[in-house]
């Protein structure tokens, strides 16, 4: 049962769960039943939700905060896989394959997480088979996304990877609004398969070329989205 609601973004579990794609097709009363199955826990910055070798038996839904999923390569370099935001979930690799984790889930800032134990999730899926279908849909999307990431890293120059990343954050409805970098540049570098130094230099180059303006460490204004899109 949820107890410590120190979270600023969501004031109850329902607000957290109803925006999870897996559950957002359910009606209020169904959602209420799920909420009763859910536990909640707070994590502090630098904690780990799990590490390689850990065996977890729950699905974790981010209520507020940020969690970094990364792997260590054969050469012990960190490869950021994704950053979890409120509404995102993780833990499925361990619960659906009954195997240990291969990646790290590190808490980036104080974070509240909803916990659904595997057996309760099994009951839920039995009761509402649509949930399993939603999982399948969600997993398919995640496979596509990871494949896109592989392609981005495997077949493109750093210029292009970075440009593609920026364009992806760009909202053409609001061209004057600077985009916000949620990762540190260090993590962004790892995500794009490069180094912080290179990121720094490329952003400088983009600025010199008039494609962007670096407002602050975490904010970038896109001046010429065309140029970024046509980058090769």
| Interface residue list for DNA (CB under 7 A) | 157-159, 184-187, 193-201, 203-204, 214, 217
Binding a copy of itself (rule: CB under 8 A), the pick from 154, 168, 208, 226 is: 154
Binding a copy of itself (rule: CB under 8 A), the pick from 12, 109, 119, 137 is: 137
Binding a copy of itself (rule: CB under 8 A), the pick from 160, 221, 223, 227 is: 160
Q: How far apart are the first and last CA of the chain?
A: 52
* Binding status of residue 168 toward a copy of itself by CB under 8 A: no
Binding a copy of itself (rule: CB under 8 A), the pick from 85, 148, 186, 201 is: 148
Q: Give the C-alpha separation, 14 to 48, whole Å.
A: 25
Long-range contacts of 12-17 (CB under 8 A, 24+ apart): 13/38, 13/40, 13/63, 13/114, 16/61, 16/62, 16/63, 16/64, 16/86, 16/87, 16/114, 17/61, 17/114
How many residues does the structure list for the chain? 232
Q: Give the C-alpha separation, 152 to 161, whole Å.
A: 6
Residue 108's φ and ψ, nearest 5 degrees, are: -90, -30
Structure tokens at 227: 């140029």
| Residue 56 interaction partner, one of a copy of itself, DNA, none, beta carbon < 5-8 Å per kind | none
* Binding status of residue 77 toward a copy of itself by CB under 8 A: yes
The least CB distance from residue 11 to a copy of itself, in Å, is 32
Q: Give the C-alpha separation, 90 to 82, whole Å.
A: 11
- Tell me the window of 5-13, 25-33, 132-140, 176-184 that interacts with a copy of itself (CB under 8 A): 132-140
Which residue ranges make up the site for a copy of itself (CB under 8 A)?
A: 71-75, 77-79, 81, 92-93, 96-97, 102-103, 125-126, 129, 132-133, 135-137, 139-144, 146-157, 160, 164, 190, 192-193, 231-232
């Amino acid at each position: 049962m949820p107890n410590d609601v120190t979270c600023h973004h969501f004031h109850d579990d329902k607000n957290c769960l109803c925006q999870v794609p897996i559950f957002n097709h359910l009606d209020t009363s169904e959602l209420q039943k799920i909420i009763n199955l859910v536990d909640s826990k707070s994590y502090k910055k630098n904690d780990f939700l799990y590490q390689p070798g850990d065996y977890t038996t729950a699905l974790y839904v981010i209520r507020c905060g940020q969690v970094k999923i990364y792997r260590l390569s054969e050469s012990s370099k960190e490869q950021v896989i994704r950053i979890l935001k409120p509404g995102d979930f993780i833990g499925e690799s361990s619960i659906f394959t009954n195997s240990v984790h291969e990646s790290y889930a590190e808490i980036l800032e104080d974070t509240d997480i909803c916990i659904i134990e595997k057996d309760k999730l099994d009951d839920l899926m039995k009761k509402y088979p649509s949930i399993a279908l939603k999982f399948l849909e969600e997993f398919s999307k995640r496979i596509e996304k990871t494949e896109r990431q592989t392609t981005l890293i495997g077949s493109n120059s750093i210029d292009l990877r970075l440009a593609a990343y920026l364009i992806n954050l760009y909202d053409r409805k609001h061209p004057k609004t600077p985009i916000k970098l949620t990762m540190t540049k260090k993590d962004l570098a790892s995500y794009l398969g490069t180094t912080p130094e290179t990121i720094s230099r490329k952003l400088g180059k983009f600025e010199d070329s008039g494609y962007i303006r670096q407002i602050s460490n975490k904010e970038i204004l896109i001046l010429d989205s065309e140029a970024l899109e046509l980058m090769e």
